[in-house]
Amino acid sequence: MLKLLIVEDYELILNEMADNLANQGYAVLKAATGQAAIDLIKEQNPQIIILDLNLKDMSGLQVLREAKAFNPKICVIVLTGFDVETTKEKSFQQGADYFLVKPIPLAKLKEFIAQAAKTVSNNRQ
């Protein structure tokens, strides 16, 4: 079973995403802060991270760097409310696998998670 970590500082969005993805059969971890995310990455080693860039305690880019330093094969889907080309470039430079602009329909997010799951599966072989 794939283990997903959702990093989102808005609790309502965090819980809604987590509930929906858990109902799809994923093992879901949740973090509302960057530091909590980093701790969970090191303790639980999720295969996929859904990462909001705008967190209260630190930049999502910092979380992305730490995640990739810990496990370069972690697949990271970056979410942001700001469609700024420099943010997109920085995300990919730091190792993001996908970059999505909010709001994103849950069905679309699930498509990207399915793509990420294939990437994770291929990395295991």
pLDDT digits (tens, 9 = 90+) for 69-99: 999 999 999 999 877 888 999 999 999 999 9
Class of domain 3-124: alpha beta
Q: Indicate if the pLDDT at residue 123 is higher than 80.
A: no
Residue 107 pLDDT level (bands cut at 50, 70, 90): confident
Query: What single DSSP character describes residue 56?
Result: S
pLDDT digits (tens, 9 = 90+) for 13-49: 999 999 999 999 999 999 999 999 999 999 999 999 9
Edge-first strand order for the sheet with 27-31 is 27-31, 3-7, 48-52, 75-80, 98-101
Q: Indicate if the pLDDT at residue 125 is higher than 60.
A: no
Q: What is the pTM of this model?
A: 0.93
Q: Measured between alpha carbons, how far is residue 69 from residues 25, 38, 65, 77 in Å?
A: 28, 11, 6, 16
